[in-house]
Amino acid sequence: MTRIAIIVGSSRPGRYSRQVADWVYEEAAKRTDAEFAVVDLADHPLPHLDEPIPASAGSYANEHSRAWSRVIDAFDGYVFVTPEYNHSTSGVLKNAIDYLYAEWNNKAAGFVSYGVVGDARAVEHLRLIAAELQLATVRSQVALSFYTDFENFTTITPGRHQFDALTATLDQVIAWSDALSTLRK
């Protein structure tokens, strides 16, 4: 069975990303074509990249890097839940991505972003990063706005179109993860 990680892309106090990731998981768990798990970066504290050798070498000096490698390597695809901080993704998500290389290769990724303007800029940055990691990004994405998809700017209440966007994103991530499986063997 295809395994998809829903990565909570912020560890900031008062963050919304866990709430958004839980919504993604609740919808994804209704499906029977893949298994889903939430991977919360708050549960995987990684210091600012402290590996002496680039990740592309596949040699990790630190146990926290090896543990993170095992977590990410166990999945066939990913849905990144990201806020937008200063027109990009969060530093903690970028750091977590940078720790690894081969573990991301030949897998699929989709994006669910949230913020004042739906945070398409954060996703665009993540797409560039993913390309370098040989991580295939799907076209569909979810862009949640605090103005229209959150009640009182605090509680997620996505519009019907966001459920449709999430379905399309999950459909593509699963299909691409399955298609890329031959490259991972």
pLDDT digits (tens, 9 = 90+) for 86-117: 999 999 999 999 999 999 999 999 999 999 87
Q: What angle do CA 172, 173, 174 make, to 5 degrees?
A: 90
CA distance 157 to 43: 26
Q: Is 3-184 a domain of CATH 2.120.10.80?
A: no
The predicted model gives 135-141 an average pLDDT of 98
Look at residue 118 in the predicted model and tell me its pLDDT: 67
Residue 119 carries which DSSP code?
Answer: T
CA distance 74 to 111: 19
pLDDT digits (tens, 9 = 90+) for 146-175: 999 999 999 999 999 999 999 999 999 999
Residue 114 token pair: 């949230």
**% of the chain with per-residue pLDDT over 70:** 99
Hey, where are the domains in the chain? 3-184
* pTM: predicted TM-score of the whole model, two decimal places: 0.97
CA distance 91 to 41: 11
Consecutive H or E run containing 135: strand 135-145
Look at residue 117 in the predicted model and tell me its pLDDT: 78
